[in-house]
Structure 1
Amino acid sequence: MLQQFLRKWSRGSTEGQSLLVLHVFNQQIKLLHAERAKQGWQLRTEQLVGETKVFPENMLQILSSLPPSGEVAVVLSPELYQIIPLDKPNLPTETELLQALPWLLKDLCPLAPEEMQLDYLDLTATAGAPAKINVVVAAKSSLQQLCEYLQQAKLGVTHIFAEELLSRDLVPVQGPTRLVLQQQPNNDLILQVMRDGQLCFSRHLRGFQQFLATPVTQLQFGLFDNLLLEVQRSMDFVEGQLKLPPVREVLLLMAHPELEALPALFHQAGFNQVRLMPLPEPWSWASQVDLQLWWPAIVAMATLMQTGEPSLEAAG
């Protein structure tokens, strides 16, 4: 369904030496632009603030100022979509499942069923429990309008991603159960648990929007203790309820200005398995930019570099 939507509104990908990722927020766009040179991919970044109008109308002026590019990917920030956990309907075909989802979500999502543009992600199965999915839902009319603006700007979008589901591409497939703490400025702090390349568990932690703006010296005045409690609760849930092997590594993917000091705070509290998210070795080209600030765009850019086929990855 989402692939059909994208093909309808995209003018198609064209091969070239210029790639562009648009990380879209309500009031701004973060741009990551890559150009192939003799010495390899060269990156440059830019942050553009939109008008006071709401998304997507505030993007028209920004997009019209951009030069035409080759392949383009769009990353939607969490404020522009919802992820809703749901028991997977027992239907014979995927087509029937996708047709049923809007009506199953009508009491869980503020959008009308006909306004829902959605896809879903299977979650790791738990023995004896019903199969679970995470449904990604965005406003169809907003996506249509954004794609029209992209067409007017001669930007051919080939991928649309949900931001928070991109982080699993940074986590090694092999190894222990891992917990990821991720947060971008002005957004919720998101806790995810991954194993064998699969997302097993995800939570938005409320009350932590000021975490990134709080100096390390002040974090210990209650906010950090609250975070430790949520991490421990999630680790206990993963082991006790999901029956997964215990979490052996906690990775920080947070745009905190004093990020280097955060692991030490965890270590002092007995969480010795905490470290910063490393950049995957094959992505050395991305070392030109700050991983913690630009990781959603970096993962989307890696996808553009790896494929030339139009697709929609709303579920990572």
Structure 2
Amino acid sequence: MFKRLRSARQETSCYAGISLHHDGARGALLRALPGDGVRIEALAEARGGDTRGEQIAAVLRDLGARRRTPLTVVLDRGDYALLQIEPPELPPEELTEALRWRIRDMVDFPVDEAVIDQFELPPSQRAGSPRLSCVVAAPPQRLDEIAMAANGTESRAIDIPEMALRDLVMHAQDDHPHAWLYLAPRMALIEILTGDRIWLSRQIELTAGLFQGGEPAAQDMDDLLLEVQRSLDYYQSLYATGPVDSLQVLGMSPAVEAAFVLSAAVYLSVPVARFELDRIEGLDGHDEQQQRQSLLAMGAALREMPCAA
């Protein structure tokens, strides 16, 4: 999402991704194989630590990432704001400052020095619908800390979970809209995609009970199903394109994924299935829980990989 901190791309076969979370950081080192194959070389995590920088440094060390390994770091949801707005009709050189002014009362941090980026949503087929964009804003202090921690790598980028999820599942896309639901402690992320185009991206607050072990409480699951259905309905209302073809579920807990798929098969009107990492080789060397907790890190690594395009 945000521009590369160093723009030169080096010829390499390994790519690293790190995703930041409220309880630490997860990392993945992927190797590009001939054709469009991908293999996991290493997964790592760092919990606790005094700073994000220390967590990133620990994950890079445990991954065995080399100096010339391209790295993408995915922000935690508390590190940035994502806002949907109607963008002003301005030339590109004036747009960033106009967006900064537009969102200044919509975030809880000063925007004067914030890093601003944006991506446009596809136009609606409904007559008279406004043009919409998603604006991403982040305080510079957190980005500077990440950049310093990644200083030993050759190519660096900072991204957001919304883009990491898109990059992870892009190979499974076709010309029809599909929904993807990523489940993590405290937050679910639902996106509707066609290829690399994001039609809808929405974060859903989750109750702690969903990830506390055992069978998720019925009320917690019902609340999540209701929010997912509202998101699907909003997509149809906004774009007037009909329903999505399917909903695929992935996340940091295989048990929660399985429970949602079972419940969704009863309550939702779209086909629902669990997303499988069938494109990536080397999964047998890592247990399922570790794989699922590293999904956004894998998506981050795929961002720079030529075969991901």
Name the TM tier (shorter chain): 0.7 to 0.9
Compared with structure 1, are the counterparts of its residues 226 and 36 closer, same or farther at alpha carbon in structure 2 (3 Å cutoff)? closer
Whole-angstrom distance in 1 between the partners of 2:195 and 2:275:
17
- CA change 1:250–1:208 in 2 (3 A) is farther
2:229 alignment partner, SS class? helix
Give the match for residue 90 of structure 1.
89
**Contact 1:87–1:131 (CA under 8 A) maintained in structure 2:** yes
Q: TM-score, normalised by structure 2?
A: 0.81
Query: Deviations 1:148-207 (Å, cap 9, x if unpaired)?
Result: 2322xx2234322111222223154425432221122x3311222224542112222224
Distance 1:198 1:36, change over 3 A: closer
1:209, CA displacement in angstroms?
A: 4.3
1:226 aligns with 2:215: no
Q: 2:251 aligns with which of 227, 251, 254?
A: 254
Question: Deviations 1:71-100 (Å, cap 9, x if unpaired)?
Answer: 222122222211111111111x21211122
Q: Give the whole-Å Cα distance in 2 for the aligned partners of 1:225 and 1:305.
A: 38
2:19 to 16, 19, 23: 23
Structure 1 residues 209 and 138, CA gap change in structure 2 (3 angstroms): farther
The letter of the residue matching 2:77 is P
Aligned to 2:234: 237
CA distance in 2, matches of 1:31, 1:63: 6
Alignment CA distance shift 1:235-1:21 (3 Å): closer
Contact 1:30 1:48 in 2 (8 A): yes
- 8 Å contact from structure 2 (residues 75, 159) kept in 1: yes
Aligned length: 295
Distance 1:35 1:246 in 2: 36
Instruction: Judge conservation of contact 2:206–2:224 (CA < 8 Å) in 1.
Output: no
Q: Provide the C-alpha distance between the structure 2 equivalents of 1:236 and 1:100, rounded to a whole number of angstroms.
A: 31
Q: Summarize deviations over 1:56-81 as a string: whole Å, max 9, x none.
A: 5x547637856643222212222221
Deviations 1:133-162 (A, max 9, x none): 1111111122123212322xx223432211
**After superposition, what is the alpha-carbon deviation per residue over 1:94-148, rounded to whole angstroms, capped at 9, x for unaligned?**
1211122111111011222232112111112123111111111111122123212
Q: Would the aligned equivalents of 1:174 and 1:197 in 2 still touch at CA under 8 Å?
A: no
Q: How many angstroms apart in 1 are the aligned matches of 2:11 and 2:188?
A: 37
8 Å contact kept, 2:192–2:201: yes
Listed as ranges, the matches of 1:159-170 within 5 Å are 159-169=157-167, 170=169
Q: Matches of 1:51 and 1:223 in 2, distance apart?
A: 31
- Does residue 284 (structure 1) correspond to residue 283 (structure 2)? The answer is no
Identity over aligned residues, as a percent? 18
Task: Say which SS state the counterpart of residue 239 (structure 2) adopts.
Answer: coil
Helix, strand or coil: the match of 2:253?
Answer: coil
Unaligned runs of 5+ in 1: 308-315
Matched, 1:144 2:144: yes
Gap change, CA 1:130 and 1:15, over 3 Å in 2: same
Deviations 1:238-283 (A, max 9, x none): 223431211231110122232335322222335461101233x6x3
Partner of 2:303: 303
Distance 1:157 1:28, change over 3 A: farther
Aligned to 2:202: 203
What corresponds to 1:312 in structure 2? Answer: none
Per-residue deviation at 1:47? Answer: 0.8
Aligned in 2, Cα 1:209/1:165: closer, same or farther, shift over 3 Å?
farther
- Are residues 87 and 267 of structure 1, via their aligned partners in 2, closer, same or farther at CA, if it must alter by over 3 Å? same
Say which SS state the counterpart of residue 27 (structure 2) adopts.
strand
Aligned to 2:42: 44
Distance 1:272 1:80, change over 3 A: same
Matched, 1:32 2:63: no
Describe the SS at the equivalent of 1:44. strand
